[in-house]
């Protein structure tokens, strides 16, 4: 989950341990001051009466790690991100201290926190079907007579391949989050838990010296068969059954990840294990971070634009920062679009599809514009989904949160998010993100275009019969009929922003748009031009971008060498109504 998505939080559900009244009072004051709803429930109680899946919800736990684990059970199945406030003693998971509560939450709602996706473990077997965030332990049952045998034998299979017989106290199957608990005390390795989606099998007091922990993928099915009675515990006893001889359990990675919010007020992972677990590979105090690191430890995909010493100055810094923010906003908005796109694919009723598409537009636009407003409150914003805020001087953003609505409504993956920044009314920075393929196209005017951080450029073909074309809206099919036989084909994708990006990356040699809105093409124009494309109107005149009008404009884009042939053919066969 992208941390920028948290900027649209409008509801907090807090799970509260006893003796936390002071912290709850402060949380209520903070939420009320910011117009954010707050509901509190006691630890162990259900949240169904206060949780609304249609609101952007942040889960908060107030207590120690036990309360945090209860929060995982509650919030993870609902895909709700969770922040842990520590009012306990030795807390390793809940890492925001009460004195930092308000500052940490401010960081969250400004979209500057990060979200770790934590692997959970799923357990199915006799009398048990549950998930956990830490570990599954299968151990011997203590005998009534202390002199009786105190070992258990377990046969283990990985995807039906026999691993072997484990003889000893038992086994622990832990997640990376749980690697610092039982598995660490059993000489298992520490796993850095953030966005680490693995499981490890750790023998407990094994009788074979050569047996070592095994790391597997979350898709691996671990089948464990008991040769005698065994005790099964999940997350320290939050689920517990006694297994009989010959019974089998299946352990694998859970489908739902847990989303844990981290702020700059949290202890970093290695600081936490140094202070709380006595991990002595370094001292408790960490050295100063490098100048390029962020306070919250956030790592985002690079848009691939580095500073040009020839550019310099405040404008260059603004554009680079804008590119970073636009990238984060687009990726954050892509998350709900992917989620809702999956719902569209499974719905047959047209009215329901329309509701989901409207909700997708709304959610994506809200995320993008909130992120921009947080970072650039003095900039204007033009979006199809909200009233325009246009500045005569300075910078204005042009946003299309869902370009390719028709494709989205029919479950087609060819839709995109388009975000551009204008200076003096002209696009100077563009980001186009494709949620279903996770492709990211970016550019700053005059400084090259990139896809996923790698430079891209147009083709150099100059002959129609060697070229592939893309068509946008073509109401009477005239462009298709004019060029289909003359080229290697004309394709129509249904997203103007994508059309320009595919021209920029060499996936097509030219693109035609009968008419366009400014928000459809603002970002794509920057990317295509920065990649070397030629953009004109249907007469070959330079394309004029005007974001202050609803009038549509024709656009012809090409790799450059092909442009004369396109114009000649287009002029010859242009319908009489357009002459």
pLDDT single digits (tens) 179-217: 888 877 887 888 988 889 999 999 988 877 778 899 999
Q: Which helix (DSSP H) or strand (DSSP E) does residue 199 occupy?
A: strand 199-204
Task: With respect to residue 528, please indicate whether it lies within any of the assigned structural domains.
Answer: yes
Pair (104, 148) in one structural domain: no
Q: Using pLDDT thresholds of 50, 70 and 90, give the confidence band for residue 387.
A: low
Same domain, 482 and 389: no
Binding-site residue numbers are 65-66, 134-135, 150, 384, 400, 402-403, 520
Say if residue 145's pLDDT is above 80. no
pLDDT at 315: 62
Alpha helices in 115-205 (DSSP H): 182-185
Beta pairing partners, 490: 469
The range of the structural domain enclosing residue 439 comes to 313-456
Sign of dihedral through CA atoms 532, 536, 542, 547? negative
Look up 19 and say whether it is catalytic: no
Give residue-wise pLDDT tens across range 465-513.
888 888 887 777 777 777 777 778 788 888 999 999 999 999 999 898 8
The pLDDT tens digits for 542-563 are 998 887 766 677 899 999 999 9
Band of pLDDT at residue 573, cut at 50, 70 and 90:
low
For residues 380 and 424, state if they share a domain.
yes
Alpha carbon 184 to its chain's center: 30
Under 8 Å between Cβ of 363 and 406:
no
User: In this predicted structure, what is the pLDDT of residue 146?
Assistant: 66
Q: How far apart are the C-alpha atoms of 68 and 82, rounded to whole Å? A: 9
**One domain for residues 444 and 481:** no
Residues 249 and 135 placed together within one structural domain of the fold: yes
Highest average pLDDT, of 79-93, 336-350, 408-422, comes from 408-422
For residue 282, being part of any structural domain is answered with: no
Q: What is the mean pLDDT of residues 8-22?
A: 94
Highest mean pLDDT among 57-61, 310-314, 391-395, 575-579: 57-61
- Contacts (Cβ under 8 Å, ≥6 apart) of 207: 151, 167, 168
Give mean pLDDT, residues 142-165. 83
Residue 83: what are its φ and ψ, rounded to 5°? -115, 130
Q: What is the mean pLDDT of the chain?
A: 86
In a domain, 296, yes or no: no
- 300 lies in a domain? no
244 in any annotated domain: yes
The model carries a pTM of: 0.82
DSSP 385-413: TEEEE--SSSEEEEEEEEE-HHHHHTT-S
On whether both 175 and 221 belong to a single domain, the answer is yes
Residue 281 covered by a domain: no
If one counts the domains in the chain, the total is: 4
- Binding site residue list for Mg(2+): 384, 400, 402-403, 520
Alpha-carbon separation of residue 426 from 401, 417, 430, 523 (angstroms): 19, 19, 11, 10
Percent of the chain with pLDDT over 70: 86
Q: Decide which of 112, 142, 160 is a domain's last residue.
A: 112
C-alpha–C-alpha distance, residues 288 and 315, integer Å: 29
Residue 297 counted as domain residue? no
- Give the range among 76-80, 90-94, 132-136, 316-320 with minimum mean pLDDT: 90-94
* 173 shares a domain with 105: no
Q: Do 479 and 436 reside in the same domain of the chain?
A: no
CATH code: domain of residue 230: 2.60.200.30
429-470 pLDDT per residue, tens? 999 999 999 999 999 999 999 999 999 999 999 888 888 888
Name the domain boundary from 456, 474, 505. Answer: 456
Q: What is the CATH number of the domain that holds 102?
A: 3.40.50.10330
Q: Sign of dihedral through CA atoms 283, 90, 100, 34? A: positive
Judge if 68 and 134 occupy the same domain: no
Does residue 163 belong to any structural domain of this protein? yes
Give dist(CA 367, CA 334) in Å, integer.
10
Q: Round to whole Å and give the CA distance between 108 and 372.
A: 15
Q: Residues 435, 534: one domain?
A: no
pLDDT band at residue 286, thresholds of 50, 70 and 90? Answer: low
What CATH code is carried by the domain that includes residue 416? 3.30.540.10
Range with lowest mean pLDDT among 88-97, 162-171, 285-294, 313-322: 285-294
In terms of domains, do 77 and 175 share one? Answer: no
- Rounded to whole angstroms, the Cα distance separating 52 from 67 reads 21
- pLDDT, residue 77, reads 93
**Which one of the listed residues 33, 45, 65, 311 is annotated catalytic?**
65
Among 438, 456, 474, the domain boundary falls at 456
Segment 511-537 shows an average pLDDT of: 92
317 and 416 in a single domain? The answer is yes
């Amino acid at each position: 989950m992208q941390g920028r998505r948290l900027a649209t939080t409008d509801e907090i559900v807090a799970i509260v341990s006893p003796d936390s009244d002071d912290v709850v009072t402060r949380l209520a004051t903070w939420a009320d001051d910011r117009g954010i709803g707050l509901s509190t429930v006691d630890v162990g109680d259900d949240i169904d009466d206060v949780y609304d899946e249609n609101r952007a919800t942040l889960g908060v736990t107030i207590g120690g790690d036990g309360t945090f684990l209860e929060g995982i059970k509650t919030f993870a199945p609902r895909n709700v991100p969770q922040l842990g406030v520590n009012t306990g003693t030795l807390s390793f998971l809940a890492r925001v201290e009460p004195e930092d509560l308000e500052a940490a939450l401010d960081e969250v709602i400004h979209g500057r926190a990060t979200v770790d996706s934590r692997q959970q473990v799923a357990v199915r077997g006799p009398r048990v079907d549950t998930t956990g965030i830490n570990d599954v332990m299968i151990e011997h049952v203590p005998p009534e007579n202390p002199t009786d045998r105190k070992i258990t034998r377990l046969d283990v299979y990985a995807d039906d391949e026999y691993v072997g017989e484990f003889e000893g106290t038992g086994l622990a199957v832990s997640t990376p989050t749980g690697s610092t608990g039982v598995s660490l005390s059993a000489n298992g390795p520490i796993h850095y838990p953030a966005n680490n989606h693995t499981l490890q099998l750790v023998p407990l007091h094994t009788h074979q010296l050569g047996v070592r922990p095994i790391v597997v993928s979350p898709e691996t099915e671990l089948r464990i068969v008991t040769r005698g009675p065994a005790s099964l515990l999940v997350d320290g006893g939050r689920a517990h059954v006694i297994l009989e001889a010959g019974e089998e359990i299946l352990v694998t990675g859970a489908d739902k990840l847990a989303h844990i919010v981290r702020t700059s007020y949290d202890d970093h992972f290695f600081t936490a294990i140094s202070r709380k677990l006595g991990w002595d590979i370094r001292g408790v105090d960490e050295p100063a971070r490098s100048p390029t690191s962020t306070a919250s430890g956030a790592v985002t995909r690079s848009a691939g634009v580095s500073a040009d010493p020839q550019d310099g100055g405040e404008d260059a810094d603004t554009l680079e920062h804008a590119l970073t923010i636009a990238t984060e906003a687009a990726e954050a908005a892509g998350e709900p679009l992917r989620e809702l796109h999956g719902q569209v694919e499974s719905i047959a009723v047209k009215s329901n599809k329309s509701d989901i598409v409207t909700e997708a537009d709304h959610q994506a636009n809200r995320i993008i514009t909130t992120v921009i407003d947080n970072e650039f409150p003095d900039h204007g914003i033009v979006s199809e989904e909200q009233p325009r805020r246009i500045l005569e001087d300075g910078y204005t953003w042009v946003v299309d949160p869902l370009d390719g609505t028709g494709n989205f409504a029919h479950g087609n993956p060819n839709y995109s998010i388009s975000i551009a920044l204008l200076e003096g009314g002209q696009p100077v920075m563009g980001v186009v993100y494709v949620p279903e393929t996770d492709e990211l196209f970016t550019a700053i005017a005059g400084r090259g275009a990139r896809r996923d951080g790698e430079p891209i450029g147009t083709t150099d073909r100059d002959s129609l019969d060697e070229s592939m074309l893309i068509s946008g809206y073509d109401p009477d099919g005239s462009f298709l009929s004019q060029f289909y036989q003359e080229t290697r084909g004309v394709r129509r994708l249904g997203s103007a922003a994508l059309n320009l990006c595919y021209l920029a990356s060499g996936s097509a040699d030219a693109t035609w748009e009968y008419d366009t809105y400014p928000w459809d093409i603002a970002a794509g124009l920057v990317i295509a031009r920065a990649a070397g494309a030629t953009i004109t109107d249907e007469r070959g005149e330079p394309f004029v971008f005007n974001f202050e009008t609803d009038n549509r404009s024709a656009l012809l884009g090409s790799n450059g060498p092909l442009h004369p042939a396109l114009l000649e053919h287009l002029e010859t066969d242009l319908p009489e109504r357009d002459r």
